[in-house]
Chain A
Amino acid sequence: MLRYVVRRVLVSVPLLIGISLITFGVINMAPGGPIGISSDLNPKATAEYRERLKAYYGLDQPLYVQYGRWLGRMAVLDFGDSFSADGRKVWDKIRERILVTLSINVLSMALIFLVAVPLGIYSAVRKGSVFDRVATVTVFTGFAIPTFWLALLLMILFGVRLGWLPISGLVSLEYDTLPLAGKILDRAAHLVLPVFLMAFGGLAGISRYMRSTMLEVIRQDYIAAARSKGLPERAVVFRHAVRNALLPVITILGLSVPGLLGGSVIFETIFAIPGMGQLFFQGVMSRDYPLIMGILTIGAFLTLLGNILADVGYALADPRIKTERAG
C-alpha cells in the first residue's frame, strides 16, 4: 500500500512542473505588464523610471531566468512579494485565507456527498419513476441557476425579509463580545447560505454519476445471483450493489475539487467572505502577478492532492487494486 502511495505521488511530480509552466505562460500573456498600472497612467513616469521599476521586480531578465528563479523559490513555498501596496509575501496572504476557502469547500463537499449519494441510488433503483424525474430536474436546477442570482434571491429572502441569516462576512460585528457558544453559532449562521448554495450547485455532478454507476452495477451477474438466491431486494441493493457502485464516486469527489475552488470566486465575492477566491479576484483586477501565480499554483496543487487522496481512498476501499500492485 505504501508503495502504491509513493508511486502515485511520484507520478504527480511532472504534472506539477507542467502546472507551473502553464501558470507562468498565462501570466506572460498579459500586455502592459504589472508595472503598466503604476506607470502608464502616470504622466511623470519617465522611461528610465520604468526601467528601474522593471529591474526592481526582476522583469528585465529573459523569461526562462524569471521562470527558473520563480520555480526555485516555489519549491520552498516562497511565491515572492505581492505587487499590491502592502507588498507582503504572497504565501502569507494566501495562508491567512486558504483555510476559510477550504473549510467552506469541505463542508459543501460533505453535504453534496450526503445528499447526492442516496439521491443517485434511489433514482437508479427506480429508474424512470416520478421520483427519478423529480430528482433529475431538481439536481439540474441547482446546476442551471446562475449562482449569484440565486444567492441574491436567498439573501433577500432569508437575510433581509425574514432576518433569519446574516448575509455577508464570516462573523458578525459583535462577534468578540459573544460567549463561546454564541461565537460558534454566529460562525455557523454565516456559513449556512454559502455552503448550501455551493452544495446545491454541485449536486448534479455526483448524483448523476452515482445514478449511472448504480445502473451499471445492477446489470452485473453477481446482482442477478444475489437476487436469484432469494435475498430481499433491500439487501441486494444496499449490501451488494451500493458498495460496488460507491467506489467510482470516490474518484469523482477528487475530480470535483477544481470546480468547487473556481466557484469560490463568485461565492466569496457575493457573501464578502475573505477567502482565497476573493483574494484571487482582487489580484487579477490589479495584475498582481506573483499573487495570481501563487494562487493558480496552489489551486492546481490542491486539485492534485485531491486526486491523490481519492486514488488512495479508492485503493483502500477496493481490494482488487492492492493485490494488483502487490507483485
Chain B
Amino acid sequence: MNGHSMLRETLRRLSRNPLAVAGAAVVLFFCVLALFPWLVSSHDPNRIDILKILEPPSGAHPLGTDDLGRDVLARMLHGARISLSVGFVAESIAIGIGLVIGLLAGYYGGKVDSLLMRFVDIMLCFPTFFLILAVIAFIGPSIWNIMFIIGVTGWMGVARLVRAETLSLKERDFVAAARAQGAGTARILFRHILPNTLAPILVAATLGVAGAILVESGLSFLGIGVQPPTPSWGNILTAGKDNIEFAWWLSLFPGLAIFLTVLGYNLLGEGIRDAVDPRLKGR
C-alpha cells in the first residue's frame, strides 16, 4: 500500500467517526475565524468606549461589550489568533525537541538512549504546572515566554513515542536497504524513519495544542498569562469572571470557545488515533 492510498484509507475511516468529524469541524471553524477575523467583525478589539460599558449582546455588538466598552466579538476573534498561536507554537517546540531526542535515543540505543531516557524520566517527575509557573514568574509573562516554557516542559511524551517507533523501525528491511545503498545517518533518520513516526506525532500534536490553550487560560487566571490589552481567550475569560454576576456574556463566550476548541482537538486526536491504528482495522 503506498502513502497516498494509506492517507485515503485513514481519511475514509476518520470520516466514518462522527465524533472525529465534529471535532475536525470545530477545529477548522476556529482556525478560519482566527485567520480571517475581518470576515465577521470590523470592530477594533482595543477601541475603548466608556459610553458603552458592559452592554449586553445587541445588533451593533453581537457578543456585547466589556468593562471598558470594547467589542467582545472583536476581542474574541483576535483572542482566537493569540490562543491558537500559543497552542501551535508551544506544541511545535515540544514536538521539535521530542522528535530529536526520541530519534537519537531510539536510533543509537545503548548509553545515549539510557542517558536521554533518564532525562525524560526526570522531567516527567515535575508537576509541569509548578515548573511553568515558576519560570514564567521569573522570566515574565510575555507571549513568547509562555509559548517557550509550555513547549519546553511538554516534549517528553513525544520523545517516548518517537523513541519506541524508531527502535522498531530501525530493524526493518527498508532501513537496512537504505543503509546498504550508502545512506548516511541523517538521511536514514529524517528520510526513512521520521515519516513513519508521523501518525503518532500527529495524535500527540492535536492533544498538545489543546493542552497548551488550557495552560494559557490557567496562567491568565493566575494573572501571569498573556497580558492585557493583548486579548487571549484566557485573559478575556479571567476579566469576565469578575463581572460574572451581572455580565454573563463576558465569561460565557470565551469559556465556550476554550471548551469547544479543546474538546474539538481531543475528539479529532482520538479519531486519528483510532483511524491509523492498524490493529483496529476491519472493526
Contacts and interface: CB of A to CB of B under 8 A. Distances in A.
Main secondary structure of the interface of B (DSSP, over half): helix
B130 A280 contact: yes
Contact of B139 (A31, A137, A261, A265): A31
Contacts, number: 140
B134 interface: yes
A141 B264 CA distance: 10
Interface stretch (B177-185, B196-204, B216-224): B216-224
Contact of B133 (A22, A144, A208, A281): A281
Contacts of A280: 130, 133
A303 B18 CA distance: 37
Contacts of B237: 146, 149
B128 A219 contact: no
A223 B133 CA distance: 47
A41 interface: no
Interface string B14-58: 000011000000000000000000000000000000000000000
A284 interface: yes
B128 A137 contact: no
B129 A144 contact: no
Interface stretch (A11-19, A64-72, A190-198, A226-234): A11-19
A287 B127 contact: no
Interface in A289-324: 292, 295-296, 299-300, 303-304, 307
B127 A300 contact: yes
A287 B138 contact: yes
B255 A145 contact: yes
Interface in A11-70: 14-15, 18-19, 22, 26-27, 29-31
Interface in B219-275: 221-222, 234, 237-238, 241, 244-245, 251, 255, 258-263, 266-267, 270
Contacts of A31: 138-139
Interface in B116-141: 118-119, 121-131, 133-135, 137-139
A148 B258 CA distance: 12
B84 interface: no
A55 to B, nearest CB: 22
Interface residues of B, number: 47
Contacts of B222: 265-266, 269, 281
A148 B267 CA distance: 22
Interface in B135-183: 135, 137-139
A281 B218 CA distance: 12
B276 interface: no
Contacts of A163: none
A257 B222 CA distance: 21
B77 interface: no
B205 to A, nearest CB: 17
Given A146-B259, A149-B237, A14 B130 contact: no
B209 interface: no
B266 A140 contact: yes
Contacts of A14: 118
7 closest A-B pairs by beta carbon, nearest first, are: A262-B129, A30-B138, A144-B262, A18-B122, A262-B127, A261-B127, A144-B263
Given A149-B241, A149-B258, 17 more contacts: A19-B125, A31-B139, A136-B270, A140-B267, A141-B263, A146-B234, A148-B238, A149-B237, A258-B128, A259-B127, A265-B129, A265-B130, A295-B130, A296-B130, A300-B126, A300-B127, A303-B127
